[in-house]
Chains A and B, each alone.
Chain A
Amino acid sequence: MKKKQTSKVGYYQTLFKLLRIMRLTLGLLLIVVMQGWAVKSYSQRTTLTLDMRNARIVDVLEEIENQTDFYFLFNYEQINSDKTVDIKLTNSKIEETLNVLLKGTGLKYTINDRQIVISRDGSAGLNLLMQQKIRISGKVTDTSGASLPGVSVVVKGTTNGIITDTDGKYILSNVPPDGTLMFSFVGMKTQEIPVTGKITINVVMTEETVGLDEVVAIGYGTVKKSNLTSSVSKMTDEAIKERPITNVSEAFQGQLAGVRSQAAKGGVPGEELTIRIRGLNTINGDSSPLYVIDGVPRDNMTDINPGDIASIQILKDASATAIYGSRGGNGVVLIDTKTGTGKPSITFDAYYGWQTREKTLNLMSGPEWVSYNMYYRNLNYLRAGGSMSDPMSSRATSYAYPDSWSTTTDFTDWQNAVLETAPMQSYQLSASSKGDRSSLYFSVGYLDQDGIVLNTYYKRMNARLNGSMDISKKMRLGINMSMTHSDKDARSTTQSNGKESPLHHALMISPLMTLTEGTRDWGTPSAYEVGSTYTNPVEQLKHTTDNTRYLRAMTSVYGEYDIIDGLTFKTQYSFNYDGSSYEFYQPGNVTYNNGYVTKGNSNANRTTDWVAQNTLTYDKLFNGHHLNVLLGQSAEKRKYYKIYAEATGWPYESIETLNVASTAVSATTERTTYANASFFGRVSYDYKEKYLFTASTRYDGSSRFGSNQKWGLFPSFSAGWKINEESFMDTMDWISLLKLRVSWGMSGNDRIGDYEYMALLDTYNTSWNNVLVSGVAAKNIANEDLQWESTKSLDFGLDFSALKNRLQMNIDYYINTTDNLLYSVPIPYTTGFDEYTTNVGSIRNRGLEVDITSRNITSGAFKWETELNLSRNVNKVLSLGGNTDYFTESSYDAKFITKVGGPISQFYCYRTDGFLLSSDFDDNGNALVPIFSGQEEGNYKYVDQPDANGNTDGVLNSSDLVPYGNNLPDLTYGLTNRFSWKNLEMSVLIQGQFGGDVLYLGQRHNDSGMDGRTIYSRWLRAYKPDYEGLYGEGENPVPTEYNTKHNIDTSWDGKTPNPFGLNQNNSDTRIYDATYWRIKNITLSYTLPKNILRTNLFSSLKCYVSLDNVKTFSDYPGYTPETSSFGNGTTRLGVDYSTYPLSRRCTLGVNIVF
C-alpha cells in the first residue's frame, strides 16, 4: 500500500506542474504570436519612455534593453566614461532616443532589426566590418509565379535571417558579399544562392515532390529519406485531402506497400478500419500497430481529424520499430499533425455528399419467394405421404398455404426498406501562421455522416491547437492540444451476434410481411400466412438506441534546448483523457426474442494516462563523418475506469434512461492500471552519406508481465550503402540514388490484458432458498513467467531513383519471425479451466514489397504521375509449442484451425465433390458412397478424407474436416494515377487483392435453402430429383402455373443443391475467393486561376468532385469480401456475418484559402 501512495503523490505533483507549465506556455504563446502578426518593422513600431538623471550611457542602454527587445553590441572600453546625462523622453522612437543620447559623444549607431551596434565615429573594428556588408532584397515566388510569404532567408552559417513578407518580398541587411543565402520553406526544396556581390536576388522555389531530400520521422528523430537504412513508408496529406475520408484509417487503403487496411466491419459510419502491417505477427488477438501521435504512444487513432494530418509514417521493419521496443512488434504508425507555416492564413474546407449502397444482394423477389415456398410446402406434403391431387383444405396447416399467395402482389422489399441514400457533410476551418519566433496552427472541424442503414450516424467535432516558439536561440517550447467529441449510433447493426442484427433480419424476413406488421403492438402474422417473420427491422432501427459518445483530449507540451552545438535535450510530457459513454435501449415493442420486455444498458469508461519522455540527441558532422546519437527515457501510466448498468422492463417507453426501469439487473464498476517504463538509445553513423549504419536498443518494462519477466531488451542493427555515391558510378549520372539496405532487429508486443499473469478470483454467485449468495472462485491460472512476444525481423531493401528522380522505386524483402507468442492456450478441461495465458510457439511472415512512383509527363500543361504499390506476405505457423500442433476455434457452425505449417486461422470444414446423383444410390436407396445420415440425391457430396496412411474409413465424421482456405490475401495492391492539365487535376485510385478467402456465415440463414425466409434467388434453381418417378405421375411439387405467370425458371443451375435431405453448412461451399479490385476513388478538382478570382479576399479557391468506392469487382455474393466480422480475433478471420454494406459516396467539396 505504501508504494502505491508514493507513486500517487508523484503523479499529482507532476500533473500540477504540467498544468502550470501549460498556463505559462499559453500566455507566452499568445504574446509572441501577436507580435509576429504585426507588419511594421520592430524599430518603427517600438516606442519608449525614459526619465533618467545623472545616468551613465551604459545605464541608459541597459534601461532600453529592459524596456524593449533591442540589444546593443558595443565595445565597453569605447563607451565607458563617467560622463552622465539627463534624458527625458516620452513615446519616443529608438532613432530619436539614440540621437539624443549619443549627441556629442562621438558615438554612432546602426540598427539591424532588434540589434543595435554602437561604435566610435571613425573607428575601425565593427564599423569597418559593417561598411563591407551589403543589403540584399528580392522576391520569392513559386513555380506558378505566385508570391511566397513565410520563406526563411538566412545567411548560411549565421543566424542572420528574415522571413519573406506577405508579398514574398524580403530585405536582408548585413550580408557579406561573398556569403551564401539559404532559402527554405516547408514542402519546398531548399536553395542556396551565392551572393557574389548582387544586391537583388529573386528566387523561384520548387516543390519537394521528388522526395529524396525529404525528411522522414523515425521515432524520436528524423532522417533524410535517402539516408534511411530501415524500411519506412511515408504518406502525406495527398491521400487525405479532397476525399471524403471520415476517419484516417480509410486513407490507408491502397496507399502503402506492406500496410493492409481492411473494412472489417463493413461500412459502419465512424468505424475504424483494421490496419495490419506486414501480415499477422501474433495469434494473441490484437495485431494492431502502435500509433504515435505527435510523439505520444497510443493504442489507436480513432477520431483524429483527417484534416489535421500533415504526414503519416509507417515503421515496418524491426530495425525501425525496435526503438519502440515492447510495443513495436506489429509495426508503428507515426502521425504528425500540422504546424503553423507561412504568413497568417485561414483555410476553409467543406464537402457535402451522398452515400448509397455499393451493392444489392441477389435475394428472392416477392413472386420468387412465393414460388419457392409453394414448392417447399408441396414437397413436404408429398414427403409426408400426401398427394398433389388432394384439396388444399385436407392438408395440415404446416403443409398448406393460403390461396391468396397465388394472386397477391403486395410484397415488401425489406433490403430496400432498411437501406437508404444518406447524406454526409464536413466543414473545417483552420488558421496557420509562422512568425520569426513562433508558429501556430489551430483548427476546428465538424463532420456529420448518416449511414446507409436507416438511422445510423456518426458525428464528430474536432479542435486542435499546435503552437511552438523560440524562447531564445537555444530554447524552444511547444504544445499540441486536441479535443474531439464524437457521437455515433449503429442501431445494433454491429453486435457480435450477427444473427440478431436488424440488418440480418431484413435480409431474411418474408416479403409477405408488411411494413406495418411485426411489432408487439401491431402483431405478427402467422408462419402459415407469410413464412418466417422477425421483429420489424425498420421499426427496430427506428426505436433502438445504440449510441456511443467519445470525448478525447490530448495535451502534450515539450521543450527543446540546445546545450552545446549539436547536443539537444528534449523533454515531452503529455496527459490524455479518453472517455466514452454508451447507451443501449430497445423498447419492448421491437425487442427480438425477449418476450417484448424492454431492455437497456449503459456504460461509461475513461482512460487517463500520462507519458513522460526525455531525450538527448547529439548530432555532429566532421570531415565527412556524420554521427547522431540518441539517448532517452520514457515512462507511462494509464488508468482505466468503467461503470456498467443494466435494467429491464420500463413502465412507459417514452423515457430511455435506466433510472425509470422497473428491474435493475446489474451495476458494476471496474478499474485497472497499466505502467510502462523504458530506456532507449540509438547511434547512427554515416561517412559522406555513402556508408550508413544505425544501431538502436530499447530496454522496456511492462506491468503486464510476470515478476520474473518484467523487463525485455530489444536491439537492432541496420546498414546502407549508397552505390551511386561511388566513383565508379560517376558515368551513370542518370541514377540519382541506388542504395542497398540490410537490417535486423527485434521488437515486441505486450497487448494482453493488464493482470493476466496473476491468478485472479471472480465472483460466481449462486442462490439458496431463493436468496442470492455470493460465491468466489479462481478464474484463471497464474503464470509468473509470462513474457513479451518478440518479433525478429530481417529486411533487405533496395532504393532506386533515376532520370532526375522521375522514376523512384523501393523494394523490400523481409522475414519476420515472432517467438514466444502470447496466447491463451487451450488446456485440458480436467484442470477446471479452459485456457492459460502463456508464451507458445512461433510464426513467420515473409514478404516482398514494391513501391514505384513515376512522373510520366512532367513538362507542359499536362502532367501525369503514377504510383503503384504491391505487397505479398506469406504467413506460416512454425510451432505452437508443447505437444500441440494445432488448435481449433468455432463460432456458430463455422470452424477455424491454426495449424503448424499453415497460415494463421484457416477455415476448417468438409470438402465437397459435386452432388449426390441418382447413380450414387442403389435401387433400395442405399448410398454407394459415404454420406451423412439423412442425405439424399441432389445434396452435396462430401469427401471422405484419407487418414495418414491414405486409407478412407467409409464414414463421414469430424475426422473428415480439413483446413481449407484462409483470409490472408496473396497479394494486395494500390494504383494511383494523377493527371493535371493547367488548373484541372484528376486522381484515380484503384485498390484490391488477389487471393484470400471469406466465409459467408450469413449463408446459415439466407443461403442454405430453408423455407419461409427470404433467401438467395438461386435456390429456385436448386437440384430437383425426378419427383414423378418418386411419388407417382402428376406428383410434381413445383408450382408450374405460378412460375409461368411470373416467368420464374426453376431448372437446375448446376450449382445449387437439393435443399431437402441434408447439406452440411460447415463446408467449402460457403467459402469464397476474396479476390477483388475496386475503383476506390476518383477525384476531379479545379483550382480557380488568380485572375478569375479578381478579389483579394481569397488567395486560392479549389472545387472538387470526389467519388469513393465507385465499384468493386468480385465474385463474392455477400456485401463485401473485405469483411471480417469477428474483427480482431486473429484466429477467427474472414467471416462475413451480416456485415454493414459499404457505401458508394459522391461528394462535392471546396477548399478556400483566405
Chain B
Amino acid sequence: MHTWRKHSLLIKNQNKMKNIAIPKISILLLLSFLLTTSCDDFLTTVPESAYSTEGFYESESDFEYAIAGVYSAQQELFNGTTFFRFTIGRSDDTNVMETNTYMYGGDTFTDGDDCSALETAWSDLWIVISRCNAILDKIDGVDFDDTAMKNYIKGEAYALRAWTYYTLSISFGGMPLIDTELSVEETKKVARSTQEETFAFVEDDYKKAIDLLPASWTGDNLGRITKYAAEGGLARLYMFQSDFSSAKTYLKNIIDSGLYGMEEEYKNCFTESNENGKERVWEVQFCGGESGEGQNFSGASVQEGYSGDLTPFSGASAAMHASTNLLAEYEDGDLRKDITVATGLNINGILEEYYYFIKFMYYSTVPQSTEDWGINLPVLRYTDVLMMYAECLNEDSYVAGGEAFSIINKVRERAGLGALTSATVPDQDSFRKAMIHERRIEFAYESLRWPDLVRWGIAKDVMTTFLQDNDEGAGIYSMDGDYRKIYAIPGDEMSRYSDETVMWQNPGY
C-alpha cells in the first residue's frame, strides 16, 4: 500500500506545476503506466510455461500424472551405470580392474564416503520417496470418479516407497523414516532409524500396497506394479531377513495366481520382444525410438571403442568385466553362459580377452543414440520367485526329490544342464550350496548376487577368497569387516546434514 502513496506524491508534485506546459506526451506516458498498473500487480508475474504446485494434486488426472512421475524417478535410477556399479560391481561376479576410477574402490572394499556415483544413486532413491509422499499426503482428500484407480495409485506409491526403502536399507543401513512431506528444517530433524525399523516400515508399506493393487494391468497400463509384484518385493524382504515361512506364503500366492510362468528359453528372459511377458513379475520400463524414455545401461555393458553387432554404438568408459571366478562357476554346456557374457569383442581394433556382459543387449528396436535402449530392466523375474520358493521349502525341511528339486531342475533344464538328484544333493546343506551356485549363474549381472551373499552370511568369506585370485589383485584387497556389507553414507549427504546426531556415518567408515 505504501507504494501507492509514492505514486500519488509524484502526481501531486506535478499538479503543483499545473500552470506550466509540461509536454503532453510525457504526462501521457507517465499516466499510462500509473493508471494501468498497480505496482504489486505489475510485479506479480505468473509463470507462463511452467505449472505451479499450487492447484496441483487436486483432481484425479493430477494423481495419474503424479504416479507416472514416481515411475520416472525409478527409471532415472536404472538409467545409467552408477547404481549398477554398486549393486553388481561389489560382488565376485565382476573383475576389480576399475579400482579408483569409476568404482571408487567399491569393488575392492577400499571405498570411502567420497564416491560421487553412489551419491547419485542415493539422491535418485530419495526422489522416488519424496514423490510417493507427495501423493500419499494428498490423495485421500480428493474425490475420484474411478475409485478403483485411486486405490491402485495409492498402492503403487506404497509399493514404490517400500522397494526404495528396502534398496536404501540393504545398501546403507537404517534410514530416516520419512512418510510425509516435510520442510527442509523438519527433514533435518528426522534421525536415522535402525535397519530393523526400516525393514518393518517396508513390510508395512508392502502390505498396504498388496491390499490396494490390482492383480494385473492391461493394455497401455501393462508394466505398472501389480499386487504380485508387491508380494514378490515383500517376500524378498523376508528372505533378506531369513524369515522363510513368511516369504513362502507370499511366493506361493504369486505361483498360485497362475499368471506367470518361466520362459522356455533363457534368452527370452531378457529380450525386448518378450517384455511384460510371463517371466516378468516386476521390471522397470523403458521405451526406445528416441522417445526420451530409453536407458543407456545396456550399451554401457561394453567398453567404449567397441565396434560390432551387439550395439550400434560404442559403449561406455570402463565397462564392468565378468570375473574369471564367475566364468569358472559355469558348468560345461551351460547354455546361459553365451547368453550372459561374450569375449573377443573388437575394442578400438583390438580383440579383447575380457568377457563383457551382454544380457541386456537383445534389442528389437534399434537404439538411435547411447541413451535410447528400450530394453526393460528386471526387478523380479518369475524364475526368482520360484527359486526363492524352493529355497524356502528347503529351509523348511529337506525333501529328497521334492518340489524344491523339481524347481531347480526346471531351471537347469532350461540351461541345458542335467537334473540334480538326491544322490548328488543328499541333504539340506548341500541343497543350499546347489542353490547358491544356481542363483549365481541364473541371475548374474542382475544385481542379486551381492544381497544374496549378505543374507546368506557368506559375503566376507566369499569375497576374501575371490580377492585372492591373481586376476583380482592376488590378495592386495580384502573385505576387511562385516561393516562393509553396507556402504558409507555419501560424504556429501553428511555435510548437507552437518549433524551427526541425525545423519551419522555407518561404523567402520
Is B122 in the interface zone, CB < 8 Å from A? yes
User: Which positions 803-856 of chain A face chain B at CB distance < 8 Å?
Assistant: 826-834, 836
Interchain CB contact under 8 A, B130 and A831: yes
Interchain CB contact under 8 A, B43 and A781: no
Count, chain A residues at interface, CB 8 A: 111
Question: Which residues of chain A have C-beta atoms less than 8 A from B338's C-beta?
Answer: none
Cα A14 to Cα B32 with chains together (Å): 7
**Selected interface stretch from B45-53, B144-152, B201-209:** B45-53
Interchain CB contact under 8 A, A828 and B292: no
Interchain CB contact under 8 A, A933 and B498: no
Q: What is the distance, in angstroms, from B472's C-beta to the closest C-beta of chain A?
A: 13
Question: Which residues of chain B have C-beta atoms less than 8 A from A754's C-beta?
Answer: 45, 47
Interchain CB contact under 8 A, B184 and A635: no
Among B42, B50, B477, the residue within 8 A (CB) of A635 is: B42
Interchain CB contact under 8 A, A671 and B48: yes
Is B123 in the interface zone, CB < 8 Å from A? yes
Among B48, B65, B304, the residue within 8 A (CB) of A672 is: B48
Is A665 in the interface zone, CB < 8 Å from B? yes
| Given A527-B305, A648-B290: A7 touches B100 (CB 8 Å cut-off) | no
Is A995 in the interface zone, CB < 8 Å from B? no
**Selected interface stretch from B217-225, B411-419, B434-442:** B217-225
Is B330 in the interface zone, CB < 8 Å from A? no
Is A1024 in the interface zone, CB < 8 Å from B? no
Interchain CB contact under 8 A, B3 and A665: no
Question: Which residues of chain A have C-beta atoms less than 8 A from B503's C-beta?
Answer: 828, 830
User: Which positions 55-89 of chain B face chain A at CB distance < 8 Å?
Assistant: 56, 62, 65-73, 75-76
Interchain CB contact under 8 A, A933 and B110: yes
Residue of A nearest to B352 (CB): A398
Question: Which residues of chain A have C-beta atoms less than 8 A from B36's C-beta?
Answer: 6-7, 9-11, 13
Interchain CB contact under 8 A, B184 and A831: yes
Among B53, B133, B287, the residue within 8 A (CB) of A770 is: B287
| Given A527-B350, A770-B275: A932 touches B68 (CB 8 Å cut-off) | no
Is A711 in the interface zone, CB < 8 Å from B? yes
Contact pattern, B 24-49, Cβ under 8 Å of A = 1, otherwise 0:
01101110110111011111111111
Interchain CB contact under 8 A, B43 and A677: yes
Is A364 in the interface zone, CB < 8 Å from B? no
Q: What is the distance, in angstroms, from A377's C-beta to the closest C-beta of chain B?
A: 12
Residue of B nearest to A1012 (CB): B348
Interchain CB contact under 8 A, B3 and A711: yes
Contact pattern, A 758-782, Cβ under 8 Å of B = 1, otherwise 0:
1111101111111111111110011
Q: What is the distance, in angstroms, from B467's C-beta to the closest C-beta of chain A?
A: 12
Interchain CB contact under 8 A, B290 and A777: no
Is A21 in the interface zone, CB < 8 Å from B? yes
Residue of B nearest to A635 (CB): B33
Among B17, B129, B314, the residue within 8 A (CB) of A593 is: B314
Question: Which residues of chain A have C-beta atoms less than 8 A from B131's C-beta?
Answer: 777, 832
- Chain B CB within 10 Å, residue with most, of A9, A664, A679: A679
Is A752 in the interface zone, CB < 8 Å from B? no
Cα A762 to Cα B50 with chains together (Å): 7
Residue of A nearest to B347 (CB): A527
Question: Which residues of chain A have C-beta atoms less than 8 A from B44's C-beta?
Answer: 3, 703, 707
Cα A776 to Cα B66 with chains together (Å): 5
Q: What is the distance, in angstroms, from A147's C-beta to the closest C-beta of chain B?
A: 38
Contact pattern, A 962-977, Cβ under 8 Å of B = 1, otherwise 0:
0000000000000000
Question: Which residues of chain B have C-beta atoms less than 8 A from A597's C-beta?
Answer: 312, 368-369
Q: What is the distance, in angstroms, from A477's C-beta to the closest C-beta of chain B?
A: 9
Interchain CB contact under 8 A, A10 and B32: yes
Interchain CB contact under 8 A, A782 and B53: yes
Q: What is the distance, in angstroms, from A7's C-beta to the closest C-beta of chain B?
A: 5
Interchain CB contact under 8 A, A675 and B72: no
Question: Which residues of chain B have C-beta atoms less than 8 A from A679's C-beta?
Answer: 6, 10
Among A564, A710, A762, the residue within 8 A (CB) of B40 is: A710
Is B291 in the interface zone, CB < 8 Å from A? yes
Among B22, B33, B56, B116, the residue within 8 A (CB) of A10 is: B33
Contact pattern, A 878-891, Cβ under 8 Å of B = 1, otherwise 0:
00000110111010
Interchain CB contact under 8 A, A932 and B100: yes
Cα A59 to Cα B52 with chains together (Å): 72
Contact pattern, B 476-495, Cβ under 8 Å of A = 1, otherwise 0:
11000000000000011101
Question: Which residues of chain B have C-beta atoms less than 8 A from A998's C-beta?
Answer: none
Interchain CB contact under 8 A, B33 and A829: no
Is A32 in the interface zone, CB < 8 Å from B? no
Cα A533 to Cα B349 with chains together (Å): 11
Cα A830 to Cα B10 with chains together (Å): 51
Residue of A nearest to B105 (CB): A933
Contact pattern, B 1-19, Cβ under 8 Å of A = 1, otherwise 0:
0010010001001000100
Contact pattern, A 696-710, Cβ under 8 Å of B = 1, otherwise 0:
000101110001001
Cα A679 to Cα B116 with chains together (Å): 48
Interchain CB contact under 8 A, B26 and A569: yes
Contact pattern, A 734-750, Cβ under 8 Å of B = 1, otherwise 0:
00000000000000000
- Chain A CB within 10 Å, residue with most, of B37, B123, B222, B275: B37
| Given A677-B42, A830-B178: A958 touches B370 (CB 8 Å cut-off) | no
Interchain CB contact under 8 A, A710 and B43: yes
Is A673 in the interface zone, CB < 8 Å from B? yes
Cα A189 to Cα B119 with chains together (Å): 67
Residue of A nearest to B130 (CB): A832
| Given A759-B52, A776-B56: A958 touches B72 (CB 8 Å cut-off) | no
Is B20 in the interface zone, CB < 8 Å from A? yes
Interchain CB contact under 8 A, A633 and B10: yes
| Given A703-B45, A932-B100, A933-B477: A777 touches B72 (CB 8 Å cut-off) | yes
Interchain CB contact under 8 A, B6 and A760: no
| Given A762-B50, A767-B291: A776 touches B65 (CB 8 Å cut-off) | yes
Interchain CB contact under 8 A, A663 and B290: yes
| Given A666-B292, A767-B286, A768-B224: A774 touches B65 (CB 8 Å cut-off) | yes
Contact pattern, B 93-113, Cβ under 8 Å of A = 1, otherwise 0:
000000110000100101011
Residue of A nearest to B224 (CB): A768
Is A929 in the interface zone, CB < 8 Å from B? no
Is A674 in the interface zone, CB < 8 Å from B? yes
Question: Which residues of chain B have C-beta atoms less than 8 A from A526's C-beta?
Answer: 348-350
Residue of B nearest to A633 (CB): B10
Interchain CB contact under 8 A, B223 and A769: yes
Is B215 in the interface zone, CB < 8 Å from A? no
Interchain CB contact under 8 A, A764 and B73: yes
Question: Which residues of chain A have C-beta atoms less than 8 A from B105's C-beta?
Answer: 933
Interchain CB contact under 8 A, B222 and A768: yes
Residue of A nearest to B115 (CB): A958
Question: Which residues of chain A have C-beta atoms less than 8 A from B264's C-beta?
Answer: none
Question: Which residues of chain A have C-beta atoms less than 8 A from B10's C-beta?
Answer: 631, 633, 679
Question: Which residues of chain B have C-beta atoms less than 8 A from A17's C-beta?
Answer: 25, 28-29, 32
Is A525 in the interface zone, CB < 8 Å from B? yes
Is A561 in the interface zone, CB < 8 Å from B? yes
Among B22, B130, B222, B348, the residue within 8 A (CB) of A563 is: B22
Interchain CB contact under 8 A, B220 and A21: no
Question: Which residues of chain A have C-beta atoms less than 8 A from B50's C-beta?
Answer: 755, 760-762
Question: Which residues of chain A have C-beta atoms less than 8 A from B187's C-beta?
Answer: 827-828, 830-831
Residue of B nearest to A769 (CB): B222
Is A4 in the interface zone, CB < 8 Å from B? yes
Interchain CB contact under 8 A, A672 and B49: yes
Q: What is the distance, in angstroms, from A635's C-beta to the closest C-beta of chain B?
A: 5
A-B contact list, 25 entries, CB within 8 Å: A11-B36, A397-B350, A397-B351, A529-B349, A594-B369, A595-B369, A599-B369, A612-B30, A663-B290, A664-B290, A672-B49, A679-B6, A701-B39, A710-B43, A759-B52, A765-B292, A769-B221, A769-B222, A772-B287, A772-B292, A774-B68, A775-B65, A776-B62, A933-B108, A933-B110
16 extra interchain contacts, Cβ-Cβ under 8 A, other than A612-B30, A616-B13, A770-B287? A396-B353, A398-B352, A526-B348, A593-B370, A595-B312, A597-B312, A631-B13, A633-B10, A675-B45, A679-B6, A760-B50, A770-B285, A830-B187, A884-B496, A932-B100, A934-B99
Pairs A-B, 5 closest by C-beta atoms:
A526-B349, A832-B130, A10-B36, A775-B68, A958-B114
